[in-house]
Amino acid sequence: MAGGFAVVSSKPGGGIKQGKITWYVWICGIIAATSGLMFGYDIGISGGVTAMDDFLLLFFPSVYARKHRARENNYCKFDDQRLQLFTSSLYLAALVASFVASRACTVLGRKRTMQAASVFFLSGTALCACASGLAMLIVGRVCLGAGVGFGNQAAPLFLSEIAPARIRGALNILFQLNVTIGILVANVVNYFASEIHPLGWRYALGGAAAPAAVLFLGSLVITETPTSLVERGREVDGRKTLERIRGTADVDDEFEEIRAACALAREMVAEEAPYRRLLRRESRPPLVIAIAMQVFQQFTGINALMFYAPVLFQTMGFATDGSLLSAVVTGGVNVASTVVSIVLVDRVGRRKLLLEACAQMLVAQVAVGGIMLAHVTADGTPGDAWAVGLVVLICVYVSSFAWSWGPLGWLIPSETFPLETRTAGFSFAVSSNMLFTFLIAQAFLSMMCAMRAYIFFFFAGWIVVMGTFVLVLLPETKGVPIDEMVDRVWRRHWFWKRCFGDNANEARVNNC
């Protein structure tokens, strides 16, 4: 498709790459990002379903009894390991699947891996919606987890590899935008499904079939990335695809850059497997950054909120309908704020967005913790004014996360690895995300029961740590071509450049 608008980006040494930001690139990006829609729906739907009485009565009757016991501790109503396993099992499965997906991305390509993700999503949705017992429900969540592992591995890589450097951030953030839309849609579905008795929870879980079907059908028509085609020896197809997505035949410079990167990657892989190569000193900077971004993303506390938003709002004193409606409001803020990131990420850069968000999230978390500590007791709830204030503060917190740590947690790891370790390195990012998502999902309700309002101060402390990390160790990657990160980013960073001495001994002396 030739439609689009021109983009010119500088190349080291004075060369110029000319091409267009074509509509075809955006279409491929939107379809690939549907994997994020499925991921977001899974995040949002679990919290609403676990607040529905019909669901609890069938699968978790002891939680149902505690929820309706008048003098039950507000912070401990939903403290049940099996209930938390319903949410967290998906992410434990995704952790394991991400390593399999890394190999699939290399051997089969990014497109085929996304197709496999859609099949897992459809299978898991059917099992969950038709579940008659807890075991069937958990197996369905495990299938959904495999889909998340495959989709979250392939989609961000696909987006980073088809995007021109000038809009790589905006195109990649389509994935996170779809995550937020999925959460919002799930919250709306939960709100209406909660009024349908006794099958509302089945409709809510079954609704995941819609984005799964879109991903499956869409993955049949999108292209493979030029990098993946060349990587697998299909250079003619790779060049044709590059011409198509750039809207011009003048792609010599970029294609040669891709060929050179693939040739170097093949040589290095022949000498040493990608996972072993990640142990080298020169692989340490992107690996540390990728893992740290995922760990910090979870320790903002965002997924604890998104998983259990209706539960948390009930703790604050809202009735079931009010808690679901409040979750819809925060979901809407989440979507709108992610659009802000798409507009700003390639203009102001990654670091500024992350640092501003740390300050905003810190203030919001501390304020929420303070109000909860003062006005939400074990057997009492805040007045209406305080409850509304809490929702506003949570929206302030969600908005800052949505234009920073949410999308950039996926963007930065997908753009910073060299080709020879890209799929292997990104699998560590995905698996780290899933591991800590699992831990937070499995532990949050128990932590809330034990720590009460202090849980918000716990997450606030982590926000201070991550802000310091960004300030000291995270380089800016805005506008840097994906295959030039080593020379233009890592070798020039005040700390990480010590990992790139002329030999291993020099790097060792520099304490990398």
pLDDT in tens, the chain (512 residues): 333 323 333 344 333 344 567 888 888 888 988 999 998 898 888 878 887 889 999 998 887 887 776 455 666 766 677 887 887 888 889 989 988 999 999 999 999 999 999 999 999 999 999 999 999 999 999 999 999 999 999 999 899 888 887 888 888 888 889 988 998 899 889 889 988 999 999 999 999 999 899 999 998 888 999 999 999 999 999 999 999 988 888 889 989 989 998 898 888 877 778 888 898 999 999 999 999 999 999 899 887 676 556 666 766 666 656 666 677 788 889 899 999 998 999 999 999 999 999 999 999 999 988 888 887 665 556 666 777 788 888 889 999 999 999 999 988 998 899 888 888 898 898 889 888 888 887 787 788 788 888 888 999 999 999 999 999 999 999 988 888 899 999 999 999 999 987 655 555 546 67
Q: Please name the residues in contact with 481: beta carbons below 8 A apart, sequence gap of 6 or more.
A: 9, 11, 165, 257, 488
CB 304 within 8 A of CB 88: no
Listed in order, strand segments (DSSP E) in 173-332 are: none
Q: Which amino acid is at 175?
A: F
Tokens 């509302």, residue located? 200
Element (H, E) at 344: helix 320-348
In the numeric block, which tokens belong to residue 34?
């549907």
Q: What distance in Å separates the CA atoms of residue 264 and residue 108, rounded to the nearest whole number?
A: 20
| pTM across the whole model | 0.77
Q: Which amino acid is at 309?
A: A
Q: Are 428 and 278 in contact (CB under 8 A)?
A: yes
Residues 6+ apart with CB under 8 A from 341: 173, 176, 353, 402, 403, 404, 406, 407, 408
The CA-based dihedral angle spanning residues 232, 233, 235, 241, taken in that order and rounded to the nearest 10 degrees: -20
16: three-class secondary structure by DSSP:
strand
Which tokens sit at 204? 């809510």
Separation of alpha carbons 1 and 391, rounded Å: 45
* CB contact set of 197 (below 8 Å; sequence gap of 6+): 54
